[in-house]
Amino acid sequence: MASADADMRIHEEEESLRPGRRQPPPSPCLIQYYQATEVMPEEKVLLHDLMQKQPAVLGCLQVVSGVMSVGVGLLFAVTQDMQQSFLTLFRVSHLTGALYICAGLVTNLLFKYPSLLAVSFVLNCGCIIVGVIGAILISVDVALWKTDNEPFMRMEVLQLCVLGLEVFLSAVLCFWFVKEKPPKSTERST
């Protein structure tokens, strides 16, 4: 094993300063640095607690169920007479599907635009109301079941289940929105 006996001390120049040379640092050289004594909490972004619950997932489910509702509505519009069911007569599937697609898109935009919270809340409340009315109309159709309409009635039961899912999603989102504190105003009081 090799070892060396070298002088490790810092030697200062004893020479006088020549013009153009920098002045040496004062002796002893002090190094100052900042050391935090306590940890500062991270600054929370707007709607932080709501975004932790990931409402965009429920928004995507709303869009998918809305597209399915529109598809079922188109199927009924093409294959049935207008007076055969309330689902076809009042275009329940088209209306609920379009409304749920809009509500899902606005819910997905909440992450980027937190100011849309009130709009999303109103849209989801409207979705609940329209969904419950549509479920009542479909339930009346199912109650007046005719044996010659069995394939269509099965589709109406499917649409009723989709409406139940849509109303549940909107109710959960509305509950989350109500629990979320509104953003504080950024105005300074002078």
Cα dihedral angle (103, 104, 105, 106), rounded to 10 degrees? 50
64-116 residue pLDDT tens: 999 999 999 999 888 888 888 888 888 889 999 999 999 999 999 988 898 89
**Per the domain annotation, does 84 fall within a domain?**
yes
Farthest-apart Cα atoms in the chain, separation: 113
pLDDT cut 90: percent of the chain above it: 38
Please give the model's pTM, rounded to 2 decimal places: 0.70
**Per the domain annotation, does 62 fall within a domain?**
yes
| Residue 123 host element (H or E) | helix 117-143
Q: How many domains does the chain have?
A: 1
**Per the domain annotation, does 113 fall within a domain?**
yes
- For residue 154, give its domain range: 48-178
**Per the domain annotation, does 172 fall within a domain?**
yes
